Amino acid sequence: MASIDITGVSKIYPGAAGRSVTGIDLTIADGEFIVLVGPSGCGKSTLLRMVAGLEDITEGEIRIAGRRVNDLEPADRDIAMVFQNYALYPHMTVRENMAYGLKNRKTPRDVIEARVAEAARMLELGPYLDRKPRALSGGQRQRVAMGRAIVRQPAAFLFDEPLSNLDAKLRVSMRGEIRRLQKRLGTTSIYVTHDQLEAMTLADRLVVLNGGRIEQVGTPLDIYHHPASTFVASFIGSPAMNLIDAEVSGNRVVIGDQAITLAAPVQGIGGPAVLGIRAEDLHPAPSGLLFRVDLVEELGAQRLVHGHVSGQGLTLALSPAHPLSETMTIAPAGPALHFFDVGTGRRIGDTAAARTGAGVMA
């Protein structure tokens, strides 16, 4: 149980031209579940490995439970890590795998036995305790890896894409299992993933990384409803938020040769901007934008309708009950419009109209 404070942390690999991770500031509260999410190469794993002590910290400082850990060995940082490919010791049984870290810390034998038994019960690994990892399925191996972390009762759990080697169905159930365990144990956790759905469902707070920098920190819903940049908007949420070029003047938003009129003028924006609209915020309307349908994806509960408005691609999420036609008139339902700067991609002109989601902007 501990907080983790990351202050101005950067990583420069020897021989590399620039920083792989740049100036990360992040405070993680005790018991919080933080998910680092971003595309591959965004530095999320590097950051996690710096917390673990598997990578040197080039600049900045990391504190776990108030203690500076920059120069501590991984074994001395009081953390436990769950790896993507499980990283179980192939020559040890499940029981030995879980007990290994405790044994090396001179934990009394009866304490080790009790903790291993408890973890095995929690993870339903009882029947497999005397098996070697190669006799287990992928899901069981990952549970052993989690058991190995749990028995240590560390200050923090570090998860490095622990579910990406599992098949889709197992991934969903393990996701729930991890979340339940973490809530029950109340251990501060940092979880790295490139899967935005996994990130959304697990996180107390999401940290979206891009190019070694933090793009946005916030609760999943906060980030979903108030993406701080076009990058976040397109990365979080499926289907990705529609981003189209528009021209704003007062309460008129011009898209190509068409325009929509808003109830209230957009504050602080004049001229070109990137307009962001979630697929579920667009609906057929008596008047609005002329939408030509290219392709329909049936998902069962809803259908995704891909098409274009004045030559720019858009996706709609519609109820299957809704009749389809080759051209439709669509309008944003309610005031769920997002505007971003054309040059920087940062969020701009936060109108009262755009504030519909839960949560508070940072």
Partner 1 sequence: MSVPSTSLQTSPSGIARLRARLAAPPEAAKRVQFRRPLLPWLLLAPQLAVVATFFYWPSAQAVISSFYIEDPFGFGATFVGLDNYADAVGSSEYIRIAGFTVMFTVIVTVLSLAIGMLLAVKADKVIRGRPAYRTALIAVYAIAPPVAGLIGMMLFDQHIGSIVRFAALFGWNMQVGLSYWDTAFAMIVVAVWLQIPYNFIFVLSGLQAIPSAVREAALIDCRNGLRRFRTVILPLLAPTAFFLMIINITYALFDTFALIDVMVKDKPANNPITLVYKVYLDGFRGNDIGGSSAQSVILMAVVLVLTLFQFRYIERRVHYG
Are the CB atoms for 119 and 92 separated by under 8 Å?
no
| Contact string 25-64 vs partner 1 (x = CB under 8 A) | ---------------------------xxx----------
73 in contact with partner 1 (CB under 8 A): yes
Which range binds partner 1 by CB under 8 A, 77-85, 316-324, 326-334, 342-350?
77-85
Whole-number Å distance between alpha carbons of 132 and 156: 27
Strands (E), 127-194: 156-160, 188-193
Integer distance in angstroms from the first to the last C-alpha of the chain?
Answer: 26
Tell me which amino acid residue 85 is: N
74 in contact with partner 1 (CB under 8 A): yes
Tell me which amino acid residue 161 is: E
3-state secondary structure labels for all residues of 278-315:
CHHHEEEEEEEEEEEEEEEEECCCCEEEEEEECCEEEE
The two tokens of residue 347 are 């969020």
**Residue from the set 40, 108, 110, 134 that interacts with partner 1 by CB under 8 A:** 134
259 in contact with partner 1 (CB under 8 A): no
**Angle (deg, nearest 10), helices 109-122 and 138-151:** 140
Query: In angstroms, what is the minimal distance from the CB of 194 to partner 1?
Result: 17
293 in contact with partner 1 (CB under 8 A): no
13 in contact with partner 1 (CB under 8 A): no
Q: What is the DSSP string of 25-36?
A: EEEE-TT-EEEE
Residue 65 or 100: the one with the smaller Cβ distance to partner 1 is 100
Residue 40 or 104: the one with the smaller Cβ distance to partner 1 is 104
Q: Is the dihedral of CA 281, 283, 289, 294 positive or negative?
A: positive
116 in contact with partner 1 (CB under 8 A): no
Residue 52 or 223: the one with the smaller Cβ distance to partner 1 is 52
Which range binds partner 1 by CB under 8 A, 98-106, 248-256, 321-329, 347-355?
98-106
Residue 134 or 184: the one with the smaller Cβ distance to partner 1 is 134
Query: In angstroms, what is the minimal distance from the CB of 238 to partner 1?
Result: 29
268 in contact with partner 1 (CB under 8 A): no
**Residue from the set 50, 88, 228, 255 that interacts with partner 1 by CB under 8 A:** 88
Which range binds partner 1 by CB under 8 A, 58-66, 83-91, 109-117, 200-208?
83-91
The three-class DSSP label of residue 227 is coil
Give the binding site for partner 1 (CB under 8 A).
52-54, 73-76, 79-81, 83-91, 100-101, 104, 134, 148
